[in-house]
Amino acid sequence: MLEVRKSEERGRAHHGWLQSQHSFSFADYYDPRHTGFGPLLVINEDRVAPGAGFGTHGHRDMEIISYVLDGALEHKDSMGTGSVLHYGDVQRMSAGSGVRHSEFNGSQTEPVHFLQIWIQPNAKGIPPSYEEKHFGVEEKQGRLRLIASGDGREGSVLIHQDASLYAAILNGADQVEHSLAAGRLGYVHVIRGRVEVNGVALKGGDALKIGAEDKVRFTDAEAAELLLFDLPA
């Protein structure tokens, strides 16, 4: 099963200070065909105006990953964590039994552009926790770099779910392949550029749901940056 989710079909929210595109149903946007894929529930592509952001609000029982694309994302939470994230930084917050946090554009002059990803955890009520790591361009060029996993292997951030998240930057003759175990799902989100995935042409903002396939193959890339999720069904 290969099902394309086109960029222009995503939900949209325009709040002046925030421009957001939703790959899955979120807030006021609801599409019964796109309410998640396995434990992957949210991919929001957010652009926040200078000096603006999300005020303090609460979460619980959710793994929240931020992948910064451009600009500065400032984070503060009720665990006492505070940081400013830039391109290449990956933030993981396990909301667990409950956490409050805020996210703001850390610049007064430039917008911030990032992906916010929510994954349903495989355990409820755990103590909330926070982690961030940097993955440089050279780590992702021509290969799939593991950036989040259920066991924290290979220096990835730890999520409380049997899922693996990879990032890649591919171009020209780059050809990359990932094996999917029986019963696993794959989900590809193209951040920018163009790439073929199992023969399906995708552009920035497009996604591909993958089921009943044993391989995910990336070919014919043109300045592509992408995420690959290996998920339980």
The domain ranges of the chain are: 2-232
- Chain mean pLDDT for the chain: 96
Model confidence at 222, pLDDT cuts 50, 70, 90, reads very high
Segment 80-99, tens digit of pLDDT: 888 999 999 999 999 999 99
Residue 139 has pLDDT above 90, yes or no: yes
CB neighbours of residue 116 within 10 Å: 20
Give the contacts of 71 (CB within 8 A, at least 6 positions apart): 86, 105, 106, 107, 110, 111, 112, 113, 114
Average pLDDT over residues 89-110: 94
Residue 143 has pLDDT above 90, yes or no: yes
Model confidence at 113, pLDDT cuts 50, 70, 90, reads very high
**Threshold 0.85, pTM exceeds:** yes
2-232 fold: Jelly Rolls (2.60.120)
**pLDDT given at position 55:** 87
